[in-house]
Amino acid sequence: MSEKHEFVGTMLTEVGKYIYPVVLMCGWLSISRSGFYDWRSRPTSAAATRRGNLKVLVTAVVESSEQTYGYRRIHAYLRRSQVAGDPGTGLP
């Protein structure tokens, strides 16, 4: 459900107005307007923070390998770097 909320949140422009009215977007996506505003005011979860950090690390590994590494080599690289297997990363 948070993907729908996140999509509505991405429709915010630089001037602080939404491209479409929030009530219409929520109706189109079958979410409640109050649920969207509640989601918007919540702090980022620990899991979302870990996923964001891991995404940055994986992107750096892929770019440094000139996009030749697959998921197995990326995972092995992260394990060698002691990132994978760490409880804070969510990797096994």
**Domain layout of the chain by residue ranges:** 2-41, 46-80
Report if pTM > 0.85: no
Q: What sign does the dihedral 39-41-42-48 (CA atoms) show? A: positive
Q: How far apart are CA 30 and CA 35, in angstroms?
A: 11
Q: Tell me: the pLDDT tens digits for 64-81?
A: 989 899 989 999 988 888
Identify how many contiguous H helices and E strands the chain contains and give both numbers.
Answer: 5, 0
Q: Tell me: the pLDDT tens digits for 17-42?
A: 999 999 999 999 999 999 999 999 99
- Does residue 8 register a pLDDT over 90? yes
Q: How far apart are CA 78 and CA 56, in angstroms?
A: 12
